[in-house]
């Protein structure tokens, strides 16, 4: 099947043999010129509307009493001089990574003057864009990051951001993941976060994801619409997709990663950086993480403000879906979860599903660095 397994038209259902090996092979698809959706946003300077939205955002922060999040870092003198004032962040369709999108002013307060958002497809493409140096930092679901490290790509996972953002919708008669045996399940592609999560979940409950589930991939129409039209049996969504399906009263939720154990006990999305950027720019790396963490706290403290900023800045069109997302995701719990445990847990799930070969200890040794995160936990004591 070769590279054809990455994108199928809606009529095609992936055969089990096509899903058996998706580690180094699918990573190479995107590592050699196939990441066609990468584009720089706001690289040529800030527009008048950008400036207006930033001013409104700052005024709102001041009015709500959270202005303390904006300001010079308390330990900047001890950290040393900022090695670079440029940082490139990922931009994708999911809004669960809202802290990325509202960190602009916090990054400016840390000394960054050239802040760019680079469009990339979530999952493996975003991780690979980071490894290739097209993006400096990505916030991504941990399994694609782990698989990228397993394939030998140069990224470093630095911190956890939040818990829970996936919801699994199904048709009547399907009550849990074991009931997916023999069913059609829609995912964006085999490199996607959705595929990797569901494959790991299936293995965890005794299913063989390569044989027991009929994976359907489609880029147009999107899997959510295939599910809404009754053409597939289940669909794993990321915000704002679950919010839209509930609003349209389509299907029912059989799994929620924010509430269902053991998945709810680990970070969902984590922050990773290009390995060379992290090594060459440790001061900048710590300041980026500080801005992200403060933005995470802002999401928890002022969801209405952040939802409005997401809409004003063009990251999502619907304020109501954005607000619902921000209220449902546990942004305030970033201190309570262990990123080390998260990597161990998901590495084991991916090994069970046959998606990686490395042990959890190898992934941790090759692709993680918690120094900055641990320092910031002590520094930002609430």
pLDDT given for residue 254 in this prediction: 92
**50: CB partners within 8 A, 6+ apart:** 42, 313
Measure the CA–CA gap between 273 and 260, rounded to whole angstroms.
Answer: 29
Average of per-residue pLDDT values in the chain: 81
User: Judging by beta carbons within 10 Å of its beta carbon (0-12, 13-18, 19+), is residue 314 exposed, middle or buried?
Assistant: middle
- Is residue 228 within 8 A of residue 245, CB to CB? The reply is yes
Min mean pLDDT across 39-43, 292-296, 306-310 is at 39-43
Please report where in the chains the tokens 């900047």 appear, as a residue. 76
How are strands ordered across the β-sheet holding 114-119? Answer: 39-41, 114-119, 86-91, 137-141, 269-274, 155-162
47/228: higher pLDDT? 228
From residue 201, how far is each of 66, 177, 307 by CA, in Å?
39, 7, 31
Residues of the chain with pLDDT > 70: what percent?
A: 80
Would you give the distance in Å from CA 147 to the centre of its chain? Answer: 14
Residues of the chain with pLDDT > 90: what percent?
A: 46
For residues 26-42, give the mean pLDDT. 35
pLDDT tens digits for 302-354?
Answer: 999 999 988 988 888 889 888 988 888 888 888 889 999 999 999 999 998 88
Q: Look at the chain and count its residues.
A: 382
pTM of the model: 0.80
Residue 366 φ then ψ, to 5°: -85, -25
CATH number of 39-165+265-379: 3.40.190.10
Among the CATH numbers 3.40.50.300, 3.40.190.10, 3.20.20.70, 3.40.50.720, which is that of 2-20+166-256? Answer: 3.40.190.10
List, by residue range, all CATH 3.40.190.10 domains of the chain.
2-20+166-256, 39-165+265-379
Report the candidate in 56, 32, 211, 27 with the shortest Cα–Cα distance to residue 123.
Answer: 27
**Cα angle 131, 111, 299; round to 5:** 75
Please report where in the chains the tokens 């089990």 appear, as a residue. 16
Strand, helix or coil at 235? strand
- Is residue 186 within 8 A of residue 214, CB to CB? The reply is no
Q: Is the peptide bond before 221 cis (omega within 30 degrees of 0)?
A: yes
For residues 39-47, give the mean pLDDT. 42
pLDDT given for residue 191 in this prediction: 73
Query: In this structure, what DSSP letter does residue 214 have?
Result: E
Residue 348 φ then ψ, to 5°: -65, -40
pLDDT given for residue 68 in this prediction: 52
369, pLDDT greater than 70: yes
Partnered with residue 140 across adjacent β-strands are 270
Strand, helix or coil at 373? helix
Token pair, residue 128, equals 């690979």
Measure the CA–CA gap between 224 and 237, rounded to whole angstroms.
Answer: 7
Measure the CA–CA gap between 278 and 133, rounded to whole angstroms.
Answer: 11
Please report where in the chains the tokens 């941790």 appear, as a residue. 364
CA-based radius of gyration for the chain: 20
pLDDT tens digits for 169-194?
Answer: 999 899 999 999 999 998 888 778 88
């Amino acid at each position: 099947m070769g590279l054809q397994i990455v994108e199928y038209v809606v009529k095609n259902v992936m055969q089990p043999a096509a899903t058996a090996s998706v580690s180094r092979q699918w990573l190479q698809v995107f590592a050699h010129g196939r990441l066609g959706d990468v584009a720089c946003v706001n690289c040529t300077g800030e527009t008048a509307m950008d400036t207006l939205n930033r001013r409104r955002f700052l005024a709102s922060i001041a009015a709500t009493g959270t202005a303390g999040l904006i300001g010079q870092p308390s330990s900047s003198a001890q950290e040393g001089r900022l090695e670079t004032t440029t940082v490139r962040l990922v931009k994708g369709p999911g809004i669960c990574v809202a802290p990325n999108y509202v960190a602009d002013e916090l990054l400016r307060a840390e000394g960054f003057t050239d802040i760019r958002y680079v469009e990339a497809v979530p999952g493996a493409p975003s991780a690979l864009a980071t490894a290739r140096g097209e993006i400096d930092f990505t916030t991504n679901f941990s399994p694609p990051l782990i698989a990228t490290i397993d394939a030998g790509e140069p990224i470093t996972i630095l911190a956890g951001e939040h818990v829970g953002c996936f919801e699994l919708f199904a048709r009547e008669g399907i009550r849990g993941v074991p009931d997916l045996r023999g069913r059609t399940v829609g995912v964006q592609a085999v490199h996607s976060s959705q595929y990797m999560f569901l494959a790991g979940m299936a293995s965890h409950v005794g299913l063989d994801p390569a044989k027991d589930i009929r994976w359907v991939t489609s880029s147009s129409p999107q899997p959510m619409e295939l599910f809404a039209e009754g053409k597939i049996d289940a669909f794993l969504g990321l915000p704002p997709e679950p919010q839209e399906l509930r609003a349209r009263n389509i299907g029912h939720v059989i799994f929620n990663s924010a509430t269902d154990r053991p998945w709810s006990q680990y970070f969902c999305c984590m922050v990773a950086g290009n390995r060379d950027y992290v090594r060459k720019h440790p001061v900048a790396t710590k300041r980026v993480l500080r801005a992200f963490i403060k933005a995470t706290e802002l999401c928890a403290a002022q969801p209405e403000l952040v939802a409005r900023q997401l809409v004003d800045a063009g990251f999502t069109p619907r304020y109501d879906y954005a607000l619902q997302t921000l209220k449902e995701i546990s942004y305030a719990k970033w201190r309570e979860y262990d990123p080390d445990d998260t990597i161990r847990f998901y590495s084991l799930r991916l090994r069970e599903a046959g998606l990686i070969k490395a042990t959890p200890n190898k992934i941790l040794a090759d692709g993680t660095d918690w120094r900055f995160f641990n320092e910031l936990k002590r520094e930002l004591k609430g």
